[in-house]
Structure 1
């Protein structure tokens, strides 16, 4: 047999009353955090511009777009930079190694002994993930006639 609707109706009514009471308390708490209420609990009349910074959707999109452009420009500059050459002589073998400061590899393609493989792999994974995320294929970005 099914449940009785009577108890459910009562429960819903009580929940509505409880929700109204909690909403009022929450509104007071939010106003206190924003500084719209003084110590006595009286409202301070302020303009919204003084409390919070108002931005339109266009402004937010424009700001995000400029931030993305700056990041892409920074990545592009990093790719263009070749890095400085650092010369070190191995004490054990006496061989001279010329390290690139950007890639940290020497002329033989080896990393220095203090550089760990796991860290290198982790760094490369992060770099490749970032490149995949920003990758856009030419035929998808250009308007292709149907």
Structure 2
């Protein structure tokens, strides 16, 4: 039931040689498509920074993280702001509803008719996430998740 490793080793060696050869060809093809070399193989441009902006994965992750942190800070600041009361009269019943501009609830705790439940739930999830991210214990200097 044992397999012959000898042929596998030979195959691996040949594949390594092929890989080196194909990588060189692929690099030349890539440079041609980017316009770094012409059809004969002469270099046109020496700096790739003129063609594309080169970033490492760490830089991209750092930018994404900072953007997310800014959004959370904005959400937190928004949650601290108080809403203004806005009075509306229902045309059908004649009852006056005083809505809060931030929470969109009236004095009875109801949302307006045009406000959807899914949208409300999504908004509340975002708000709670922002509050959890910015939560700090008085006795620690590190964020403690809830």
Flag whether TM exceeds 0.5 (same fold). yes
Structure 2 CA distance for partners of 1:27 and 1:17, relative to 1, 3 Å = same
CA RMSD of aligned residues (A): 3.4
- Name 1:19's counterpart in structure 2: 19
C-alpha distance in 1 between matches for 2:63 and 2:126: 25
- Name 1:106's counterpart in structure 2: 106
- Name 1:141's counterpart in structure 2: 141
Q: List gaps (5 residues or longer) in structure 1.
A: none
State the TM-score, normalized to the length of structure 2.
Answer: 0.70
C-alpha distance in 1 between matches for 2:57 and 2:139: 29
Q: How does 1:1-146 map to 2 (within 5 A)?
A: 1-53=1-53, 67=67, 70-141=70-141
Structure 2 CA distance for partners of 1:29 and 1:81, relative to 1, 3 Å = farther
Deviation larger for 108-117 or 66-75: 66-75
Q: List gaps (5 residues or longer) in structure 2.
A: none
Deviation larger for 86-95 or 123-132: 123-132
- Report the number of matched residues: 142
Query: What's the offset of the Cα at 1:112?
Result: 0.4
Deviation larger for 68-77 or 98-107: 68-77
CA contact (8 A) 2:79 2:127 kept: no
State the TM-score, normalized to the length of structure 1.
Answer: 0.70
Which structure has more RCO (C-alpha within 8 Å, separation ≥ 6)?
2
C-alpha distance in 1 between matches for 2:103 and 2:54: 44
C-alpha distance in 2 between matches for 1:72 and 1:23: 44
